[in-house]
Amino acid sequence: MFQVDMLWMTLVILWAGIGNGDHEDCPPYFDCGSHGRFGYPFTKVERPDCGIWSIHGCDDHNPNSGQNVILSFGTTSIKVRKFELDFVTTTVYFIDEDLNKLLLSESCETFSHNVTLPPSSPLGYYTLLNNITLFKCNRILKVNPPKTFLKNTSCGYDIFIGPPHSDDVSQRSLAVCSMVQLPINGFAISANPFAFLTAEIPMQFLPSDECLLCLHHRGQCRLASQGKVYCAQRKDKRNSDWKPGWVLGNVIYSTMAGIGVIAPWIIIMFGLFFALRHCKRKYGSAQGPFQSRNTPVDPYENPDTETERIFFGVPVFSYKELQEATSNFDLTRKLGDGGFGSVYYGKLQDGREVAVKYLFENNYRRVQQFMNEIEILTRLRHRNLVSLYGCTSRHSRELLLVYEYVPNGTLAYHLHGDFGRASSLTWPIRMRIAIETATALAYLHASDIIHRDVKTNNILLDISFSVKVADFGLSRLLPNDVSHVSTAPQGTPGYLDPEYFQCYQLTDKSDVYSFGVVLIELISSMPAVDAGRERDEINLANLAIKKIQKGELGELVGPSLGFESDREVKRMLTSVAELAFQCVQGDKLLRPSMEQVLKTLVRIEGGNYEYEDLVQGNDDGDGTSHSEEVMFFTTRGTEVRVDLL
């Protein structure tokens, strides 16, 4: 058995040696004018082997060169207007020039135009976002469209227009008609298609399961000959996921690079393979000679299958399990609605209480948001971030996420939902909520993640009013040494960074702005947006700036907090208001960082403090790397050590 183990170890070392030598010279990032810095899956045209999409027109020395970027994949080229990069998906917006001409002239040929997407590959597939299916019907035919469909008769045939993402049953009633899918500029559908159709096309690339696994380990997914996929430049190599197909892809690619160097290793590998087969027959057992009964199963092997029940390290639930846990998604169990889904209370068979998020089927970004949350919450672990217990398969029609149940509702509910509850949040409790929320956001920023939807509805409270920050569907990765990400503004009115809204540049200071609004809500108990206020005070940030500049803080502070009666509370409230004022400045350069915000809050709450930021790898023994942060501060003469994880 010792000889068998030695042979096996030698074979693994040889495989690793072959696989790790490819494309190590590919740059992790490159500059692209005003669009900022890019990395995988994009690459410069000079290095097509380093990515999936080659970008033309990026002059590193000209900050305006990125205005006209040409993107090519295979033989297809498009002119890109803007990019959106998420953890697992990439979206590019481009103009279909032919469609644009047809729309401008309101030509009936529009309804014969098909948007052509690149073909799928082992690396992934392309989808058209924000589109609608139109049905072109010959008037001789007798059709019975659903009542929700609109009808247009301006051409020589009837056009039936249904709601975006209409169900299969509705579409079957128009099966005798021809279909065309076209992009739309919003969801305000009317009987005049030219009012809502657009030539700007958002095309999204979704990685294959194998590439998702590679990206999860911070590698770059490559395509070798014969359509084999392999993972280059992996940053996290502790969880080995190589399968024979992946190894063969590496061998083939390496052989193309230098057959004279690799061929001897291939011969050795085949020799070892037959030696191992001989040993397996000699020592054969039900488990095989190389599998110990105590060997842990790799949680990343064969992801996203109902049989394995594991997807990127979290359990995969069936729809039926979650249907039973929530009593068939009983409305009495609904905890709330968000922009992208509803959340229900549930109880699993093992007795755990959970919150189940059911992503809306008409949300065309739901796969992206589904994967975003899984990718973030499996990478990070923090006491003030909500925990992910599991999900359904990403190939399931119903996309559901299962979280820990946080029983005390949202901060918004306590501040605004029930007038009797605002008084239960005393100033010390509010101060702790502010510090814990800032702690979670500082941790995210230290991990290069922007939350992008910080608001009181996404701050959950447990029975002791401890914070759990939730909802990472819009979150974005901000790579090292990148000042911003160019992306279409998304978020919640009242919390949205005005500079991000105007310039389409998302930075960590966008979260700081949103958190500043949360601080003002904690001070005032007023909602972020209130149409009943004066026009220039509808947004709470504007109201706060106005009151603070006029020295009218007393009119902003909630009457139950003791601003006039408690000197210490008044000191803290005044200091927090000053901090909030800095956070909601229109110019992001005038806002503090999230780490500075946290330090300031701790100082306001307790006086003297010492902050030590230790961001380092923390192996939990399961091969998963997490960040660690520890904060030391002195409050009322006592040194306190706070583990932020």
Give the residue numbers annotated as catalytic, written as ranges: 453
Provide the CA 527 distance to its chain's centre, in angstroms. Answer: 27
Asked, as a colleague might, if the bond just before 41 is cis with ω within 30 of 0, I would say yes
Query: According to the 3-state scheme, what is the secondary structure of 145-202?
Result: CCCCCEEECCCCCEEEECCCCCCHHHHHCCCCCEEEEEEECCCCCCCCHHHCECCEEE
Phi, psi of 8 (to 5 degrees): -60, -45
29-46 core/surface letters (b: 16 or more CB in 10 A; e: else): ebbbbebbbbbbbbbbee
Q: Distance between CA 139 and CA 142 in Å, rounded?
A: 7
Residue 547 assigned to a binding site = no
Residue 148: exposure state from Cβ atoms within 10 A (0-12, 13-18, ≥19): exposed
How many other C-beta atoms lie within 10 A of the C-beta of residue 550? 9
Token pair for residue 559? 């009457």
Q: Distance between CA 615 and CA 444 in Å, rounded?
A: 11
Q: Which helix (H) or strand (E) holds 79?
A: strand 76-85
How many other C-beta atoms lie within 10 A of the C-beta of residue 288? 10
Q: Distance between CA 80 and CA 259 in Å, rounded?
A: 39
Q: Distance between CA 563 and CA 574 in Å, rounded?
A: 9
Query: According to the 3-state scheme, what is the secondary structure of 51-71?
Result: CCEEEECCCCCCCCHHHCEEE
- Per the annotation, binding residues for ATP are 357
- Per the annotation, binding residues are 357
